[in-house]
Amino acid sequence: MNNHQIISGLVGIVVIGRNEGSRLIKCLHSVLKAKVPIVYVDSQSSDNSVAEAEALNVITIILDTSKPINAARARNEGFIKLIQDYPDIQYVHFIDADCELADNWLSSAIAVLDEQGQTAVVCGRLHEKYRNQSIYMRLCDMDWYRKPGLIDACGGIATYRRSVFEQLNGFNETLIAGEEPELCKRIRKNGWNILCLAEDMGTHDSAMVYFSQWWRRCVKVGFGYANGIEWNGWARQYKSTIVWGGCIPLTILLNLLWTNYSLLLFILYPIQILRVILKSENLSAYDNIIYSIFCILAKFPQMQGVLEYYLSKIISHKQVIIEYKI
């Protein structure tokens, strides 16, 4: 029995994207090889994404602007369309348009979900496609790693049990970032497992070659940490951002008014970098150093994201997508 026979009629795919251009075309070609139902959800792209998807005969829907546009809403609406058109589907794989699906992933994921009845979500190893093109893509590849086994949360690329996703009403559309760990928390609270397999799930193309892109991506992460207050999540990451990205720099600046000795506080940062280096696992010596330096440096744009979150609350500004790609 081949892979197509194993997954036939059992699974569908929801692709979400915005202005991904050639990355979307590569993504759609990769998922079309699976020969399963596909829905593409477009978040108001200004390029030819919609036309490209329709040219490949992929079911395409465009999010209107009546509600805030974000990944959570895109995935939910794609899911609804998928099960309306294919009501017998048991599993749904979500993938972003800047990713490509590994050929054997769906059959592997479904085999595990069929065998392990208490597992609601399965993910695998996602690789940064052009890892060595920039230091920022290299950092992304490190971020994608999850230790195989039971995990607390997965990212946006994963295969879900349809019944559980429906029961829990999918992703929280009020979240501009962090919708995946929020849903995973609800999943675990209801007694289900989330499993990471030691298998390739696909590739990701962040197209992140500039420092400004990395900075903006970290701003989104910080925004998500602050947003986590609304669902009681990411408390440790939020506190770390406040301390290293806010309190210590502010203390140094304020004390400079009276003494230059406050500059000695800067030594805390290399000390913290060393601590991260000593704690890191599964990385080469070079990657470990790079990861640790940027882990601490990221606290500053993350703090900007926290401030942007609270500013949006103060002025009652409708949340908008935080984009880092050009």
List the domain boundaries for the chain: 3-204, 211-314
Q: What percent of the chain lies above the pLDDT cut of 70?
A: 94
The three-state secondary structure class of 158 is strand
Amino acid at 72: A
Characterize the bridge pairing of strands 99-101 and 149-150.
Answer: unpaired
Query: Which residue is it, tokens 């395409």?
Result: 60
Q: Give the pLDDT band (50/70/90) at residue 325.
A: confident
- Residues with Cβ within 8 Å of residue 282, at least 6 apart in sequence: 145, 147
CATH classification of 3-204 is 3.90.550.10, yes or no? yes
Residue 160 β-bridge partners: 92, 121
Q: Write out the two tokens for 250.
A: 């502010």
Q: Write out the two tokens for 123.
A: 């993910």
Q: Give the pLDDT confidence score for residue 326 in this predicted structure.
A: 61
CA atoms within 13 A on the CB side of 214: 17
Distances (CA, A) of 196 to 32, 174, 242: 24, 27, 30
Q: Give the pLDDT confidence score for residue 304 in this predicted structure.
A: 96
Per the prediction, the chain carries an average pLDDT of 91
The answer to whether 192 and 164 have CB atoms below 8 angstroms apart is yes
80 pLDDT higher than 80: yes
Q: Give the pLDDT band (50/70/90) at residue 1.
A: very low
Distances (CA, A) of 23 to 49, 103, 162: 10, 17, 27
Give the pLDDT confidence of 267-317 residue by residue, as tens digits: 999 999 999 999 877 788 999 999 999 999 999 999 999 999 999 888 866
Among candidates 202, 240, 287, which has minimal Cα distance to 27? Answer: 202
Give the pLDDT confidence of 142-173 residue by residue, as tens digits: 999 999 999 999 999 999 999 999 999 999 99
The three-state secondary structure class of 109 is helix
Helix intervals (H) in the chain: 3-7, 22-32, 49-55, 71-85, 105-115, 135-144, 162-167, 179-189, 211-227, 235-242, 248-255, 268-279, 285-297, 299-314
Radius of gyration in angstroms for the set of CA atoms belonging to the chain, rounded to a whole number: 21
The three-state secondary structure class of 54 is helix
Give the pLDDT confidence of 217-253 residue by residue, as tens digits: 999 999 999 988 888 888 999 999 999 999 999 988 8
Q: What angle do CA 226, 232, 233 make, to 5 degrees?
A: 65
The answer to whether 219 and 305 have CB atoms below 8 angstroms apart is yes
Q: What is the value of pTM for the model shown?
A: 0.91
Q: What is the mean pLDDT of residues 40-54?
A: 93
